Chains A and B, each alone.
Chain A
């Protein structure tokens, strides 16, 4: 039972990690909690659903196309909602973020209906259901392996982008000091847009996998997943990408074990509790340096 829960935890933890890095990257560059990030995750699932059901696209194509659409959605979110408020007090930006989150949730309800939908029949490769590996009473299906592989690939890919490419360096520069980054010739707005695109695509991918794995899509799925992923990002240290990855995995495992051994009713509560405790006791998280708010900017 323990190993099974551990595997479950690692699976969902990888998903949380993918959403969490999105939160953390955006917070890193514009010091804003993007409340609407969970909705991008949700849109990822619904885009894939639409591409498969109405355009007849195969799974992998829908997956990639949906990720691309989520990237665009992320950028649009930045351009229309957050960028105009770049100079505004934080309170205004936070309220805007929540407003966008609510708007997108309900927009999805209007477009796709509020009842949970199953992932399109027969969309997933058939062998996904089959067991790939068995050990110690735990069985992993190909789908499990697929999720692990994608998550791992994306984490490694993200790290490569951040550490090795020019854009990654630019992102890190903007995260550290926007003014200086601008002075060195970096187009700060464009870097922020790309960050949103990157965060959006990862979030969307997570959404597709969750929707397919649990075989259930509903417009409010981003709400809870978003909070949990945020908890993971805080746990790892907001602003730190490796921290978010680690935080996601830790939170996923904690949640699975907690739900398995303590109480499944408070499954979501575990994330909230972890988040509150971490924020109060170690606001900098495992890896992060708390970005001190300058006094007059609130």
Chain B
């Protein structure tokens, strides 16, 4: 009888495989309730969103403050398509991806030529406009009343002579979320180690040098933004079919900030760092939510803490818990001085 020839796993991969196995088995562990599964699904959802956002500040070094706009667009599109047309979720996923990408291109093309500050503000304005639109256009979105009755996800195998199986409870969504996160991680890894990823890192490192290698800044920034938006929209589409109820105040700026925190905390640009950031911040958020009333402190302390964490992170560890070398060196205060002394003060390239 031959020996099982398993591929040699590096230590990092062993850890990740272990975590994956644990995740797959989680629902069957004794103390795990639906409530816990619910929280973990939230973690997975934020992982997906954070991975999507990671492309823009992480790979490209641009601050996107309007990510929640794409999340909201994806969610409401998914919700409305379901409520009005009964579209299957499996069709909505690619539609959400494409829709998100289109919005990313629409917003990105005119704005990605701008300097970083302006770009940040414009994305912020965009997401605020999205919320205003969702709130005011009652004929479409039912505004502040919210959009209820979104059908849960279902898997219709009747064409193949199988059953039609509607998602009930947290369990099916749990595994769906794992699959979606896994696919996202897979895609991000592939991009990172490719011509596209290299172009992004080049732009992040030195735009003038990147351009001298034939990389068109605008094209690649728009691609990054579009892909990021696409993942945001896909996350939103999942959210809509999972919580089956949407309202505009679920998509406020705070969400963009929170996801940004996850990326910053975990390590911008680092796929696994970002995921860890999501775990840490969602856990922290839930713990604080339970703990604060017990300590007699108001719930706003939660947000206060996050703001403070961001300020401290930028001060002491701007590249995050698990930084990637490219980002770590770049975020360090005080650039390494060139050997040639710049003769004239204020001389720029």
Direct contact of A and B (CB under 8 A): yes
Contact surface of A with B, Cβ cutoff 8 Å: 27, 31-33, 81, 84-85, 87-96, 98-107, 109-110, 114, 177, 179-180, 183, 227, 230-231, 234, 265-266, 268-269, 272-273, 275-276, 279-280, 283, 290, 292-296, 298
From B121, B308, B314, B349, contact of A88 by CB (8 A): B314
From B57, B121, B132, B300, contact of A275 by CB (8 A): B121
Give chain B interface residues in 96-120, CB to chain A under 8 Å: 110-111, 114-118, 120
Closest to A268 in B: B132
List 23 A–B pairs whose Cβ atoms lie within 8 Å, in order of A's numbering: A33-B121, A89-B330, A91-B331, A95-B260, A95-B264, A96-B314, A99-B307, A99-B310, A103-B304, A103-B311, A109-B300, A177-B345, A179-B345, A265-B132, A266-B132, A272-B132, A279-B118, A293-B116, A294-B349, A295-B348, A296-B335, A298-B61, A298-B116
From B206, B310, B349, contact of A95 by CB (8 A): B310
User: A295 vs B61: C-alpha distance in the bound complex, in angstroms?
Assistant: 12
What is the distance, in angstroms, from A110's C-beta to the closest C-beta of chain B? 6
Among B121, B128, B306, the most chain A Cβ lie within 10 Å of the Cβ of: B121
What is the distance, in angstroms, from B184's C-beta to the closest C-beta of chain A? 23
Q: Are A88 and B333 within 8 A (Cβ)? A: yes
Q: Are B331 and A81 within 8 A (Cβ)? A: no
Q: Are B63 and A91 within 8 A (Cβ)? A: yes
Known interface pairs A114-B300, A266-B136; A101-B307 also in contact (CB < 8 Å) = yes
Give the chain B neighbours of A296 by CB distance below 8 A. Answer: 206, 335, 349
Give the chain A neighbours of B27 by CB distance below 8 A. Answer: none
Q: Does B298 have its Cβ within 8 Å of any Cβ on chain A?
A: yes
From A33, A87, A91, A234, contact of B333 by CB (8 A): A87
Q: Does B339 have its Cβ within 8 Å of any Cβ on chain A?
A: no
Give the chain B neighbours of A298 by CB distance below 8 A. Answer: 61, 116
Q: Are A98 and B129 within 8 A (Cβ)? A: no
Give the chain A neighbours of B332 by CB distance below 8 A. Answer: 88
Give the chain A neighbours of B254 by CB distance below 8 A. Answer: 102
User: A93 vs B62: C-alpha distance in the bound complex, in angstroms?
Assistant: 13
Give the chain B neighbours of A179 by CB distance below 8 A. Answer: 345-346
Among B124, B129, B132, B300, the most chain A Cβ lie within 10 Å of the Cβ of: B300
Q: Are B129 and A269 within 8 A (Cβ)? A: yes
User: A179 vs B348: C-alpha distance in the bound complex, in angstroms?
Assistant: 13
Q: Does B195 have its Cβ within 8 Å of any Cβ on chain A?
A: no
Give the chain B neighbours of A81 by CB distance below 8 A. Answer: 311
Q: Are A85 and B121 within 8 A (Cβ)? A: no
User: A27 vs B115: C-alpha distance in the bound complex, in angstroms?
Assistant: 13
User: Top 4 closest A-B pairs, CB basis?
Assistant: A99-B310, A103-B307, A102-B307, A106-B304
Q: Are A280 and B257 within 8 A (Cβ)? A: no
Other A-B contacts than A88-B333, A90-B117, 8 sampled, CB-CB below 8 A, are: A96-B315, A99-B310, A102-B310, A272-B129, A275-B122, A276-B122, A295-B349, A296-B206
Q: Are A96 and B136 within 8 A (Cβ)? A: no
Give the chain B neighbours of A183 by CB distance below 8 A. Answer: 345
What is the distance, in angstroms, from A240's C-beta to the closest C-beta of chain B? 15
Q: Does B208 have its Cβ within 8 Å of any Cβ on chain A?
A: yes
From A27, A96, A106, A109, contact of B310 by CB (8 A): A96
Q: Are B310 and A98 within 8 A (Cβ)? A: yes
The binding surface of chain A is classed by DSSP as helix
From A100, A105, A279, contact of B114 by CB (8 A): A279
Q: Does B126 have its Cβ within 8 Å of any Cβ on chain A?
A: yes
Closest to B348 in A: A294
User: A122 vs B335: C-alpha distance in the bound complex, in angstroms?
Assistant: 56
User: A231 vs B349: C-alpha distance in the bound complex, in angstroms?
Assistant: 30
Known interface pairs A81-B311, A94-B63, A272-B125; A295-B206 also in contact (CB < 8 Å) = yes
Known interface pairs A96-B311, A110-B298, A275-B121; A180-B345 also in contact (CB < 8 Å) = yes
Give the chain A neighbours of B314 by CB distance below 8 A. Answer: 85, 88, 92-93, 95-96, 99
Chain B 41-82 near chain A by CB (<8 Å), digits 1 or 0: 000000000000000010001110100000000000000000
Q: Are A293 and B115 within 8 A (Cβ)? A: yes
Give the chain A neighbours of B260 by CB distance below 8 A. Answer: 95, 98
User: A103 vs B306: C-alpha distance in the bound complex, in angstroms?
Assistant: 8
Give the chain A neighbours of B349 by CB distance below 8 A. Answer: 294-296
Give the chain A neighbours of B330 by CB distance below 8 A. Answer: 89
What is the distance, in angstroms, from A105's C-beta to the closest C-beta of chain B? 8
Give chain B interface residues in 284-318, CB to chain A under 8 Å: 297-298, 300-301, 303-304, 306-311, 314-315, 318
Chain B 195-222 near chain A by CB (<8 Å), digits 1 or 0: 0000000000011100000000000000
Q: Does B163 have its Cβ within 8 Å of any Cβ on chain A?
A: no
Q: Are B301 and A110 within 8 A (Cβ)? A: yes
Q: Does B2 have its Cβ within 8 Å of any Cβ on chain A?
A: no
Closest to A96 in B: B314
From A31, A100, A279, A294, contact of B122 by CB (8 A): A279
Q: Are A280 and B331 within 8 A (Cβ)? A: no
Q: Does B334 have its Cβ within 8 Å of any Cβ on chain A?
A: yes
Known interface pairs A177-B345, A269-B132, A275-B125; A85-B333 also in contact (CB < 8 Å) = yes
User: A152 vs B304: C-alpha distance in the bound complex, in angstroms?
Assistant: 36
User: A294 vs B318: C-alpha distance in the bound complex, in angstroms?
Assistant: 21
Known interface pairs A110-B304, A280-B110; A92-B318 also in contact (CB < 8 Å) = yes
Q: Are B129 and A91 within 8 A (Cβ)? A: no
